[in-house]
Amino acid sequence: MTLKLSEAKRIAEGAVKKAEELNIRISVAVTDTGGRLIAFNKMDGGIWAASYGCQGKAAAASAFGMPTSEIVEKVDPIEIKEVDIANGGHFALGHGGVPIYREGILIGACGVGGGSGGEDEACASAGVASTI
Amino acid sequence: MPSSAPGLVSLSLADAQLISDGAIEEAERQGVKVTISISDSGGRILLVNRMDGAPWGTVHGSQGKAIAAAGFNLSTGRLAPHGDATDVGQTHQHVRRSEGQHMIFARGGVAIFRDNVVVASCGVDGGTGEEDEKCARAGVARIQA
């Protein structure tokens, strides 16, 4: 039930395609259920800060199994903080991280950075929807 | 060519993917499972591809080699090993500390040149140093043929 590199690359490509439609330059990270990178792409001309942001969003989405936009609404802030500290402080909680499920089971996460929160989440969701 | 910072020459994402594909083909030929990291000349990642079954530690290993290759404009096998007390060794270690300890001085990272200027670097981790370097060079050859 793990995510293959071929799938992770397609998810990243799908997110980039959506970003091109929105005329923004993103970084996209696709991770396994442990929040560890499988594929990463930075669009030409994108800022490098987004490479950390998108990985942090994917890590948070994989950790809680829900979009980063929901984590901040549904999970106790103290719990989020404590898990983040235990994980090395890499979480990013801005909108743009989405979990990836197959047949109801978490198989990974996709995080996008570089646009507004809404744009990032739209790119991540489009990437996942194009593949899984 | 768009770059990730003003004045910084970079590599396109499309070229980065070509390099990664070439490196992965070489890894498959050698029967090793690796991660490929391509960074710009500032050591910032452009692309990461982890082969199915490669351990996640190789994500950090390949990035560390790519950053080191970009920082010194040479292949990481030529960097002074840990504990080297020569002036060159001391300098290499100082650069590594100043950068934030991300650099890895082990074979498998190569600088990517265009018109004698470093535009990016490729780091590979997952096999032996020799296997990793072979993968990185096979990948880079894809855009230099």
pLDDT in tens, A27-50: 999 999 999 999 999 999 999 999
Give residue B74's pLDDT. 87
Q: Which positions ≥6 away from B85 have C-beta within 8 Å? A: none
Query: What confidence tens digit (pLDDT) does each residue in B71-85 have?
Result: 999 899 888 777 788
Give residue B145's pLDDT. 62
Q: Is the pLDDT of residue B10 over 90?
A: no
Tell me whether residue B7 is in a domain: no
Residue numbers in A near B6 (CB within 8 A): none
Domains of chain A: 5-131 (3.30.450.150)
Percent of chain A with pLDDT over 90: 98
CATH number for the domain harbouring residue B47: 3.30.450.150
Domain count of the fold of chain B: 1
- For residue A80, CA distances in Å to A59, A105, B40 come to 12, 22, 33
| Contact in structure between B89 and B72 (CB atoms under 8 Å) | no
Of B2, B5, B50, the CB nearest to A37: B50
Tell me whether residue B84 is in a domain: yes
Domain that holds residue B61: 13-144
Query: What is the ipTM, given to two decimal places?
Result: 0.92
Q: What is the mean pLDDT of residues A77-94?
A: 96
Q: Is the pLDDT of residue B3 over 50?
A: no
Q: Is any Cβ of chain A less than 8 angstroms from the Cβ of B25?
A: no
Query: What confidence tens digit (pLDDT) does each residue in A48-59 have?
Result: 999 999 999 999
Q: Is the pLDDT of residue B62 over 70?
A: yes
Structure tokens at B107: 């074979």
Tell me whether residue B104 is in a domain: yes
- Which pLDDT band, with edges at 50, 70 and 90, does B8 fall under? low
Kindly report the nearest CA distance between residue B86 and chain A, in angstroms. Answer: 34
pTM: 0.92
- Which pLDDT band, with edges at 50, 70 and 90, does B1 fall under? very low
Q: Is any Cβ of chain B less than 8 angstroms from the Cβ of A41?
A: yes
Give residue B79's pLDDT. 86
Nearest to A61 by CA among A103, A22, A90, A26: A90
Q: Over chain A, what is the mean pLDDT? A: 97
Tell me whether residue B41 is in a domain: yes
Nearest to A110 by CA among A47, A54, A51: A54
Q: Which residue has the higher pLDDT, B76 or A119?
A: A119
CB contact under 8 A, B50 and A38: yes
Q: Which residue has the higher pLDDT, B7 or B44?
A: B44
Residue numbers in A near B3 (CB within 8 A): 45
Query: What confidence tens digit (pLDDT) does each residue in B16-32 have?
Result: 999 999 999 999 999 99
Q: Is the pLDDT of residue B2 over 70?
A: no
Structure tokens at A2: 């793990």
Q: Is any Cβ of chain B less than 8 angstroms from the Cβ of A40?
A: yes
Tell me whether residue B2 is in a domain: no
Q: Is the pLDDT of residue B144 over 90?
A: no
Query: What confidence tens digit (pLDDT) does each residue in B84-139 have?
Result: 888 888 998 999 999 999 999 999 999 999 988 999 999 999 999 999 999 999 99
Interface of A with B in 8-37 (CB under 8 A): 9, 16, 32, 34, 36-37
Tell me whether residue B8 is in a domain: no
Give residue B77's pLDDT. 86
